[in-house]
Every structure is written in C-alpha cells, then in structure tokens.
Structure 1
C-alpha cells in the first residue's frame, strides 16, 4: 500500500463533482498527501459504419477542461494554503488513463451518480475499481441519511489476501478519522442440492467455527497494531453483499477487497464487491491484494 503518492481525484464537471472533490480534498489533508486533479477527454478516433473521424471540437474541450481544473485548484489553494495541488488533462479512454495514474497514486477518487431509486455506480467506476493498481474510492452520499458523527468505518473480511489488505486500509481510515472500525464476516447461505433455494449455514458454536475464529484473529490484530482504535466484530449469517450493504448503511466509509476465495470462502468475491459498489449508499473504497 503506497503512502508516498498523490491522492488523485477524477472530475467530470457535473454537479456531483463538488462532492467528489470535497471528499478527495479531506482525504489528502488527512494523509498529508499532494492532490492531483484530473479530467479525462476521450479524443481517440471514433468509428462509424461509414468512416473514421476525429471528435469535433477537441481543442475546445481541452481548453475547457484546463480552465475548469485551474478554477478548482485556485479555490483549493485559497482555502487550503498548505495543500499542494496539481492539475492534469488526460487524453484517451477514461479507464486506461486512470489505471495508468493509479500505478503511482496512493488513492484514486471517483464520483458515483445516483439514479432514481437506489444509488448505483456507473460502469466507469466499476471498471476503474476492477483494474486500478491502488485503492479506489467511489464517492456518493445519501442526502436523506448523512453519516452520524460517531459512524464507523465498515470493512468486510473473508480470509483472502485482498480482504486482509482491505482490513489494513480500513483501520488506517478509521484511525485518521477518529472513528470506530467495524469488521464484518458473513457466512453465506448454502445452495440446496435439491433446487429448493438455499439453507442457512450449519449451526456451530462461534469458538468451534474456523471462519469465526479467523475473523476474531483479524479483529484482534487490528486492535494490537492500531493503538487507541476501537474495533468491533460483526459475525452474521447472510449473503455477504447484503450484509455489507446493510451494516454499511449510514457508515462513514465502507471498505471491500476486490477478490475473495480465501479461507472463509464466499466473502468479497468479484461479484460481491461489484454488488457492494452498485448498491451501497455511502462512499466505498475497493482494495486489491497488491494494496
């Protein structure tokens, strides 16, 4: 996990960018890290049924993007004089451009746009989170249910290397914010071999369940390594994605690993982290097993 690179905030100029920028600035200040503001312009050649042609008005888009980023940087330097801010216009497809930046970044921050009904992350956020080389924060908020001042940072663990990295990132985030950390392990239902749906996990005492013992070990390690951090452990029998989204509702932050198939098996699979990204109503950080 890098701690020496910039916090990169990707902006698209929409109204939601203001929330994304505020979140990214707060994160950079907490980490005492430089801030890099970027905006991507896909000026690659486009193909139609008839011919290849370049995007019209590419120079205008570039100028507009530079002016937009310069305005944001100017405001930040006025309100955060100690914060080092740089700007960059990216040319090309958004996902590859951001993936390239993620190699040297310590955090990549994106916005998520709420749709009618449940808040969902667009395809760009999902693809960037899947391919980035650093943790990716997808920022959203529920205006009707803002996080309480004592809201916890929530992280899912499943014994995989990705979830252990996620636990480390979550502990650091909770410590920097002065908030408690809630470690969640969910045992998913077992598919019924007779096709009648699913059945609950086998009932075993917590002390006899190896997955629960492993979760206790993770929580205890985080307490030991992060003096003063309050660590809570939630052991639930539920679909992992539903458990994380439910227990993460109203959280200050939700942290997930990008892959699973660890000793707990079933938690934080690609499908689970994808579901959490799509359904959560709070900011989500996705962590890969490379940190």
Structure 2
C-alpha cells in the first residue's frame, strides 16, 4: 500500500457527497497528502438507450457540465483550505474499473457509503471497490456526532487480511490520538433447546483459551508497535457482522479487511 499517493475522493454530486468530500479533505490534511477529486459518468447515449427519455444530450456539452460541477467542488474546497493541493479528473465509463485503476496510485480512496439512492446499505459500487481496490477504502456514512474519546474499532478473525487491517487501524488510532478496540467475534450455534445463542463464553474465557490467546497476541503486537495507543481486546460470542455493527455505533472509525477466512474475496 502506498503512503505517498493522493487521497482520491469520488463524488457523484449527491447530497451525501458533500459530506464525503469534507471527510476526505480532513483526512488528506491529517496525512499531509494532496487531493484528487474524481467523477465518473456514463455516455448519455448509453443511459438513454435504457431510459424513458428519447432525447440524448450532446456528449461534449454534457461532459463540460460535469467538469464544471467538479471544478465548483474543487473551488469550494480550496476556498476553505487554501494550502491544500486539489486536482480534478473527469472519467468516462464504468465507475468501478476507473476507480480501481486510480486506487493503485492512491494512499486512500474515499467514497460515500451510498450515492444517489436513498437506502443506507452498502451499494454495489462501494461493495465492489471495498473488495477489489488496491488501497484502503473509506466509506463515509451520514454524519453522527461521536465522543472525543471514541475509539477506532478493528475486526480480526485470524485471516491475513484482518491482520493487515489491524495494523492499519493501529496507525489510524495513533494518527487520530484515539484508543483502539480489537474486536474478535466467534459465531455461536443456537442452543438446541431453543433458548437462543449461548452466553458470552469467549469474553470470560481463560487466558490460555486458544481463540482468546490468539486475539490477545494481536492486541499486544499492536500496542508494542504503537506504545502511545491504548489498546483493548473485545472478544465476543456473536455473529461477526452483528458485533461489528454494534461496536461501530460508538466508534470514530471501523476498520475491517477486504476478506475473511473464506476462499472468495469479500468483506469480512
């Protein structure tokens, strides 16, 4: 992963996009990195062929309109942060391949968790880029105030990807002056008598329990690498997705690897 590239911020000019840009700009300032603002669009004739409207706008005029909007976003950013280097790039074609190519030159790719759609779930574009981008990807959700001591939370499951994520999370915690919570959730089979999942045995496991010991070793390694960061271990008997979502409610940042212990690429 590069540490000398730009922070690439993708914008689709949606309402949520303004917050995404603002978050990315602050991250670039923290990293002392330049910003590359990008927007990818489809040829209007391609969109119209599958749409309701037979009128196809002139491609050149449409491109100039998109470029003008992108420059307006840049001008707003520069007006607030005059010392920040901000470039713009308009890309034509499918979004995912274009951003994936840019990710090879970036130290961070910043996206909105969802774009023009109203549903807050992980979108198809963000989901693919989280999986296949070659640099860390930040998904910015709608603003919710967090406490000044809100931690960076990282999910670990012993996979190579999660250990890379853990080291990245420790760097982020040090950069942000935040504590780090290392979360490992162990799925528990339902009680055969129908009383729901078993109790939180992992949280109260003996120090020599293999799963607990492995998670503790990761936490200890991270603290040794970043002595200034307060590192705590959060072991749970729970579905990993549920545990991560629950922990994210009070987190400044949630960090996960792009794949877990499965064979195929995907969010862990």
1:58 paired residue number: 59
Match of 2:261, SS state, is coil
Does the 8 A contact of 1:158 with 1:185 survive in 2?
Answer: yes
Q: Is the 8 A contact 1:163 1:256 kept in 2?
A: yes
The match for 2:26 is 26
Question: Is the 8 Å Cα contact of residues 43 and 54 (structure 1) preserved in structure 2?
Answer: no
Q: Report the Cα distance in structure 1 between the residues aligned to 2:200 and 2:148, rounded to whole angstroms.
A: 38
Unaligned runs of 5+ in 2: none
Who is 1:157 aligned against? 156
Alignment partners' CA distance in 2, 1:23 and 1:92: 26
Task: Give the SS at the match of 2:111.
Answer: strand
Q: SS at 2:256's partner residue? A: strand
CA contact 1:17–1:111 (8 Å) conserved in 2: yes
SS in 1 for 2:154: strand
Partner of 1:3: 3
Matched length: 261
Task: Tell me the equivalent position of 2:211.
Answer: 211
Out of 55-64 and 12-21, give the one that drifted further.
Answer: 55-64
Residue in 2 that maps onto 1:166: 165
CA distance in 1, matches of 2:201, 2:151: 29
**C-alpha root-mean-square deviation of aligned residues, in Å?**
3.0
What residue is the counterpart of 1:107 in the other structure?
A: 108
Q: Is the 8 A contact 1:190 1:201 kept in 2?
A: no
Q: Secondary structure at the match of 1:37?
A: strand
- Distance (whole Å) between structure 2 residues aligned to residue 153 and residue 74 of structure 1: 32
Provide closer, same or farther for how the CA distance between residues 91 and 33 of structure 1 changes in structure 2, counting only shifts above 3 A: same
Residue 37 of structure 1: CA displacement? Answer: 0.2
* Secondary structure of the structure 2 residue equivalent to 1:5: coil
Q: Mind listing any 5+ residue stretches in structure 1 that lack a counterpart? A: 274-291
Displacement of 1:261 in angstroms is 1.3
The equivalent residue for 1:139 is 140
- Judged with a 3 Å threshold, the aligned counterparts in structure 2 of structure 1 residues 75 and 203 are, in CA distance, closer, same or farther, namely closer
